Amino acid sequence: MVINPGNLNVKFKLQTLSTTDDGSGGTDEPVWTNVAEFFGALYNKTGKREMSYTEMVVRDEFMIKTYFMKELPELTEETRLVYDQNKHLYIDYVNNIENRNQVIEIHCRREK
């Protein structure tokens, strides 16, 4: 599978959540740390609203296509993408197309 380089028009920052022990059994305030920056193609998959107890939750799902990066196989729930200054996407899973380490699809969501 080949990606048209002209479609890689959105710049993303890959960030991980890190916490430090405060010495008294707790943790300091969590800090998001930049791991990598890359360009990708952003596609909107779905958008839906649902009720969660007494509040309305908006869930938008996206797919990002980009080239393979060595940082991506190590993703956990404590990883997010930042784009367009301050928009956050939380990663659900990464699909390595045909397991060839060339093109990947990052499936993620934005919740409000």
- pLDDT tens digits, one per residue of 38-52: 999 999 988 777 777
Report pLDDT for 1.
65
The model's confidence at residue 12, banded by pLDDT at 50, 70 and 90, is very high
Which residue is it, tokens 């799902």?
61
Report pLDDT for 98.
83
Residues 6+ apart with CB under 8 A from 95: 104, 105, 106, 107
Report d(CA 33, CA 42) in Å as an integer: 22
pLDDT > 70: what percent of the chain?
A: 88
Would you kindly state where each structural domain of the chain is located, as residue ranges?
Answer: 8-17+31-111
Report d(CA 67, CA 3) in Å as an integer: 8
What is the value of pTM for the model shown? Answer: 0.78
CA distances from 58 to 6, 46, 93 (A): 30, 11, 20
CA distances from 46 to 43, 58, 85, 107 (A): 10, 11, 22, 11
Report pLDDT for 60.
85
